[in-house]
Structure 1
Amino acid sequence: MTRVVLFGATGMVGQGVLREALLDGNITSILSIGRRPSGKEDPKLSEVILKDPSDLSSLGGQITGIDACLYCLGTSAMGMSEKEYTVITKEMTLKVADSLLSANPAMRFLFVSGDRTDARSRTMWARVKGETENELMARSPAGAFMFRPGLIEPMHGIQGQRSLPYRAAYAAAPLLRCLRLPITNTEALGRALLQIAKGGAAAASAAGAAGKHIFDNADINRLAASAALTGAV
């Protein structure tokens, strides 16, 4: 049985992860930490509302006994300076990781990044996310896992990105899938994260991703398929 803490439950990705976690009988408790309530009620869901979700100093024992952190908190880099984006994407993430790993050294830390993330990239968001991935894996070489989805289709009534480019991408998703471009959905991404949250490296191996700590879009879909085949959700 697995106890998880979830960041970003009100975002598109976080909503999908929370839905799958509530449905998963092997997830015994979910602590959601964020600026706003998720709007969900369930006996195994507890929520903490913080002005700064990266400052866990007031939570004490609430953040002990955690098996995995599902870190889905993030923002678009559009219109942001590199400094602003770094504070939200890198500095907040590492602050959370340091607090949780201090209280739970064996905990798995799962970070939702993105396709084309690379610390050496000339693209600002990809570089900052890549630097964040590297820092997380340095902090927890065995327990840090990165997820790099491509286009994420919203499912089960979850609201997707509303900008015109995203709406066009969602509409073109069937064609993009035929072209074998990287596409997944909120259900698959949620199931993939939970497979690793529960099983770590063993779950990755069972899905054909032995030894991996960075999962690309194809890996994510394989992990989700593995969850369905094993009846894990």
Structure 2
Amino acid sequence: MVPTKFSKHTEPAPMKIIVTGATGFVGQAVVKECIETPSITSILVLTRRPINETLSTNTKVTTILHDDFEHYPDEIIERLKGAEGCIWTIGGKVEDFPNLETAKKVSVDFTIGAAEVFARSLGVALNTGRARKFKFVFCSGRGALWDETKSLWMFGETRRLKGQVEKRLFEIEKRYEKEFEVTVLRPGGVLNAQQAKWQNLVGMMVEVVSVEQLGRALVATCLGRTNEGKKILENEDILRINL
């Protein structure tokens, strides 16, 4: 599928954004894409440990070391002020964590805790100063399910956790409808460019996307360039997005 270039003039693009999960596969791709995007002049990388040196030494990048993703003291909020959006890539499959409790803490509690704080502080401040909404772009996963009672035979716990995050994010958006805007991307399997190309050529049943394309899609969404009005973008939508 050939990516579609959406209009770059639907609304003013954010100039300063927050990126989380930048030590991970998807997060690194997002930071690289932000660096290569001229309209993004400042990237605030919120991380528990140092990121790749090639990325961290770029003049656009400011690394903010933060140990506790459940709490945001005033000094952290002060450093994040002026950001107009956040691309959140923290999380993963339940199988990536020692147990379900840890998976829930990282995937659900960290995400919702940050969204609440960003809406209440960064979003309200942004709306007051420039009548803009703070954009929160969440990297979810294919098959995320909002109904926690439904029985699932494949990746059930992961899909339920992703769905729980999505549902609660949109609840926050509803409470802060003038200041906070949520968009969710649901990629299928995330591979490097060569792997994704091979998978698509042989016609595998599993939907996939290259990490580079996912990075582009997340950044384009945060910039307001997806231009379709969708709140949840599935894998096929992600494949169509280009900067």
> Structure 2 length normalisation: TM-score?
0.77
Secondary structure in 2 aligned to 1:43? coil
| 1:140 maps to 2:173 | yes
Choose the corresponding residue for 1:204, options 206, 216, 226: 226
The answer for the alignment partner of 2:140 in structure 1 is 113
Q: What does residue range 42-57 of structure 1 map to in structure 2 within 5 Å?
A: 42-57=58-73
* CA distance in 2: counterparts of 1:49 and 1:188, whole angstroms: 27
AA at the equivalent of 2:76: L
* CA distance in 2: counterparts of 1:172 and 1:188, whole angstroms: 15
Q: Per-residue deviation at 1:171? A: 9.6
The answer for the alignment partner of 1:152 in structure 2 is 190
Q: Per-residue deviation at 1:186? A: 1.3
| 1:29 maps to 2:42 | yes
Secondary structure in 1 aligned to 2:226? helix
Secondary structure in 2 aligned to 1:10? coil
Secondary structure in 2 aligned to 1:196? helix
| 1:184 maps to 2:209 | yes
AA at the equivalent of 2:226: A
Q: Per-residue deviation at 1:51? A: 1.8
* CA distance in 1: counterparts of 2:172 and 2:29, whole angstroms: 27
Secondary structure in 1 aligned to 2:49? coil
The answer for the alignment partner of 2:126 in structure 1 is none
Q: Per-residue deviation at 1:190? A: 1.0
Query: Percent identity over the alignment?
Result: 25
Choose the corresponding residue for 2:84, options 67, 72, 75: 67
Larger RCO: 1 or 2 (CA < 8 Å, sep 6+): 2
Tell whether the 8 Å contact from 1:32 to 1:47 is kept in structure 2 after alignment.
Answer: yes
| 1:90 maps to 2:108 | yes
Deviations 1:161-201 (A, max 9, x none): xxxxxxxx87962455x2464111111111111111111xx
The answer for the alignment partner of 2:5 in structure 1 is none
| Count of residues paired in the alignment | 205
* CA distance in 2: counterparts of 1:152 and 1:195, whole angstroms: 18
Secondary structure in 1 aligned to 2:41? strand
> Structure 1 length normalisation: TM-score?
0.80
AA at the equivalent of 2:240: R
AA at the equivalent of 2:94: A
AA at the equivalent of 2:85: A
RMSD between aligned residues? 2.2
Tell whether the 8 Å contact from 2:196 to 2:208 is kept in structure 1 after alignment.
Answer: no
Q: Please, which runs of 5 or more residues in structure 2 have no aligned partner?
A: 1-12, 124-132
Secondary structure in 1 aligned to 2:241? helix
45-54 vs 4-13, which moves further: 45-54
